[in-house]
Structure 1
Amino acid sequence: MNKINSMMAVALLAFTFTACKKDDKEPEIIVPVSDGSTMTLNGIAASEAGSSAANSVYIDLSADKQSTALRSSWTLGFYTGSDFKVVLNAHNGASAAVVNKTDLNAVTSADLVQANLVVGLGTAAEAEFLKVDDPRQNNATVKTVINTISATDSENKVYLINPAGGSHTAVFSPDNVFKVRIIRKGTGYTLQYAKLSATTFTSLDITKDTKFNYSFVSLADNKVVSVEPEKANWDIVWTWSLYYGGTAPSQYLYGFSDLVFTNTLGGATSAEVLVATKSYADFSASDLTNITFSSKSNLIGENWRVTTGTGIKMDRFYLIKDAAGNVYKLKFVSMGVGSDGGTRGKPVIEYKLVKKA
């Protein structure tokens, strides 16, 4: 074989090998977008007997998927966006109060003022909204008890936290109270924390994983914990939470279940449609031209139900636009109130794809 023929043979062999490698490549699996379904949400947790809302339930409409997290499984949420915000667990009734000190070890039981941490549910007083992340805002990061974490360490004060507030009780045990101080560490956070009576503290570094809205920490378990799915993988959450009732200026703080929040931090938006305008069955993609989607996380909130009579408000349904741009119409079928035939803590939703992204 001459030199030219040898070179051609080598080239052919290399081409054949490369072609075989390409043919052997695993095909990309594309999960189809759901056309819609009916789903029973599991708000009941076996470990929390007697509670019909022990879980927060996160729903991904395009994947026909729900995931649950115990509401009591976390204490603080560290925002992973460009800002340095820390939220309290409103889903477990947490409350907090600032102490004008920066040395955690210098904070003792003498710094605890019970009234600053007791959440006066049903009390029409603006002061109650200063103890919790204000639920009247568009999302939880807007008006938080814990100030935005400063790049200047000396500006970051100590906070006292009652992880499970939301109580009418005027007296609680100081043994349940944590003291915390949070500073920045590079692009993330350092959390310093201890029980109120402790004379030493623990430090925990928290990084920002931008696939999620928050990094969550359980003070009781001394660790970062998994709560929400990745922000691209859920659209709405059903839960119990500190919330509010009444109309301004006589609004009051309260806590109850069957609240639904939209994942606006993750890019989802929502809208309410009254059936007097268009029925759920008849609503189609052509009707979207008349819809304005909202970035308010509490647009659905409690607006879909009452706790007496029929329970579910049958005069409305909702539109959810996920972060990818898929639009679903969604209605509530049962919630275990009145004669709807449902189970409290296991509400049923029905949804249908209106427009694919």
Structure 2
Amino acid sequence: MNKNNILIICCCVVFAFAGCKKDSVDYRYPQPYAGQLATLPGVAGTELGINAANSVFVDFSKGVVTPVRRANWDLGLYPGADFKVILNHTMGALAFDTKKTDFAKVLQADSIAIAASLQLNAAGSGLLVDPVTGTPTDYLAKLVTLEVGENEDASKIYIINSGYAGVPPFTNAIPATPTTPAIPSIPLKRPWYKVKVYKGNNGYVVKYASMSNDNPAFTPRTVNKDLSYNFNVFSFTNLSAVGEPAKSLWDIEWTWTTSKNADGTIATATHDFVLINFLGGVTAAEVKIVDQAAKEYENFNKDKLAGLTYLNTREAIGVKWRSLTSDDRPIVNRDRFYVVKDAEGNVYKLRFVSSSNADGGVIGTPVIEYRLVDAAITPGNTQ
């Protein structure tokens, strides 16, 4: 067989294989989690459920529930183009601007002078906490409780009450029962600090000292911006502080938080608050149930998504999902549910099942149900 014949045979084989090539490729995309009935573990130890020590994050598309101690962090440093700082709203933290720049000139006497006003429920305290509502743009614009200086000399020192975790400064012992653990009679007040924050080379510099003495010494720490998170958390006591998960790894957060009264002048405590990951691209719509017997939640599907109004506000769910009894126990409002669209475009329906012994549940460990309504990517043939 000569070289020309071999060449002809090879060409025929190539064309034969080419003729067998499929006209389309079947791509298989990983599908989002279908949903579940999930208990949110707010209670971390022996605390009462009304003061649950955990914030609980839920990632719908991955089926992951993540509890995080509320007391783990003190400040949140915004990693975006702007320089913004948040106080730990889940601990009821407040900040007072001393107008001073020298640590040696901020003394214990300064904190004693404002002790009564740097507290939740005090007159004017609404001006000493961060905003609790709004769209991302509006929320970030109003983060001025603790301003970031251009440099060390220009940055002002703030006195920070780092919070009580939602409980009084002292708690009297309560005898244990099968359903109520004993509450220790110990002080629960967290330390106060004097703090300044200013711009660094790749992020922030935080300088701080305890208000427990008049020593002018301070501790400096640098925090680089990490865009994986909505805020890079900072703790006065822990170098490896853990706060909310990366912004791509959660959709809603159930937690205790600060709120404000109607005119915004008084900061108050709110438990069982549900935030959406509004800075991470999550939106939510509320659906009112007209006919309970019609099983509107169960029968809700993607054909019924048209006409919904999605909100990208922090309080899109908030406390609208529950009411309170006369003794402050949450009760699920069963006349509504929520449709949540995650940052990838997956759409879930969400309802609250129970939240305290007033509605068949356990306070501090609410139960939710969420189900996939419409996936962002559907497997199929692509030409």
TM-score greater than 0.5 by the shorter chain: yes
Counterpart position of 1:323:
343
Cα-to-partner distance string for 1:235-286 (whole Å, 9 max, x where unaligned):
00001111245xx448853213211000011111111111129921232212
2:363 counterpart (337, 341, 344): 344
TM-score (norm 2): 0.76
Q: CA deviation at 1:168?
A: 7.1
Q: What is the identity, as a one-letter code, of the residue corresponding to 1:275?
A: I
Q: What is the identity, as a one-letter code, of the residue corresponding to 1:234?
A: W
1:260 aligns with 2:258: no
1:179 aligns with 2:194: yes
Counterpart position of 1:7:
none
Does the aligned pair in 1 maintain the 2:133–2:314 contact within 8 Å? Answer: no
Does the aligned pair in 2 maintain the 1:335–1:348 contact within 8 Å? Answer: yes
SS in 1 for 2:324: coil
SS in 1 for 2:280: coil
User: Structure 2 CA distance, aligned partners of 1:352 and 1:330?
Assistant: 7
Structure 1 portions without partners, runs of 5+: 1-28
User: Structure 1 CA distance, aligned partners of 2:125 and 2:363?
Assistant: 29
Q: What is the identity, as a one-letter code, of the residue corresponding to 2:280?
A: G
User: Structure 2 CA distance, aligned partners of 1:117 and 1:334?
Assistant: 35
Counterpart position of 1:23:
none
Counterpart position of 2:127:
130
Does the aligned pair in 2 maintain the 1:216–1:224 contact within 8 Å? Answer: no
Q: CA deviation at 1:296?
A: 0.3
Counterpart position of 2:374:
355
1:136-151 matches, within 5 Å, as 136-138=133-135, 141-151=140-150
User: Structure 2 CA distance, aligned partners of 1:67 and 1:167?
Assistant: 23
| Percent identity of paired positions between Structure 1 and Structure 2 | 36
Decide whether aligned partners of structure 1 residues 345 and 323 sit closer, same or farther in structure 2, where only a CA change above 3 A counts.
Answer: same
Decide whether aligned partners of structure 1 residues 42 and 134 sit closer, same or farther in structure 2, where only a CA change above 3 A counts.
Answer: same
Counterpart position of 1:50:
48
Does the aligned pair in 2 maintain the 1:320–1:329 contact within 8 Å? Answer: yes
1:8-157 matches, within 5 Å, as 31-46=30-45, 48-52=46-50, 53-112=52-111, 113-120=114-121, 127-138=124-135, 141-157=140-156
Does the aligned pair in 2 maintain the 1:307–1:337 contact within 8 Å? Answer: no
TM-score (norm 1): 0.82
Cα-to-partner distance string for 1:37-58 (whole Å, 9 max, x where unaligned):
1111100102x53355110000
Decide whether aligned partners of structure 1 residues 42 and 60 sit closer, same or farther in structure 2, where only a CA change above 3 A counts.
Answer: same
1:235 counterpart (245, 251, 255): 251
Number of residue pairs matched by the alignment: 320
User: Structure 2 CA distance, aligned partners of 1:317 and 1:114?
Assistant: 42
Q: Please give the root-mean-square deviation of Cα atoms over the aligned residues, in Å.
A: 2.8
Cα-to-partner distance string for 1:99-151 (whole Å, 9 max, x where unaligned):
1111223211132222341221xx6x5x2211111224446534235344243
Does the aligned pair in 1 maintain the 2:86–2:146 contact within 8 Å? Answer: no
Decide whether aligned partners of structure 1 residues 268 and 134 sit closer, same or farther in structure 2, where only a CA change above 3 A counts.
Answer: same
Q: CA deviation at 1:314?
A: 0.8
Q: CA deviation at 1:154?
A: 4.0
Q: CA deviation at 1:292?
A: 1.9
Counterpart position of 1:313:
333
Which segment drifts farther, 225-234 or 149-158?
149-158
Decide whether aligned partners of structure 1 residues 102 and 174 sit closer, same or farther in structure 2, where only a CA change above 3 A counts.
Answer: farther
Does the aligned pair in 2 maintain the 1:162–1:178 contact within 8 Å? Answer: yes
Which segment drifts farther, 281-290 or 80-89?
281-290
Counterpart position of 2:5:
none
Higher relative CO (Cα under 8 Å, sequence separation at least 6) belongs to: 2
Does the aligned pair in 2 maintain the 1:95–1:162 contact within 8 Å? Answer: yes
Which segment drifts farther, 277-286 or 54-63?
277-286
User: Structure 2 CA distance, aligned partners of 1:249 and 1:164?
Assistant: 22
Counterpart position of 1:16:
none
User: Structure 1 CA distance, aligned partners of 2:163 and 2:70?
Assistant: 10
Cα-to-partner distance string for 1:164-213 (whole Å, 9 max, x where unaligned):
156777xx999921000011012300000010223200000001111111
Q: What is the identity, as a one-letter code, of the residue corresponding to 1:182?
A: V
1:205 aligns with 2:222: yes
User: Structure 2 CA distance, aligned partners of 1:57 and 1:174?
Assistant: 23
User: Structure 1 CA distance, aligned partners of 2:155 and 2:216?
Assistant: 20
Structure 2 portions without partners, runs of 5+: 1-27, 170-186, 377-383
User: Structure 1 CA distance, aligned partners of 2:147 and 2:309?
Assistant: 31
SS in 1 for 2:271: strand
Q: Which has the larger radius of gyration?
A: 2
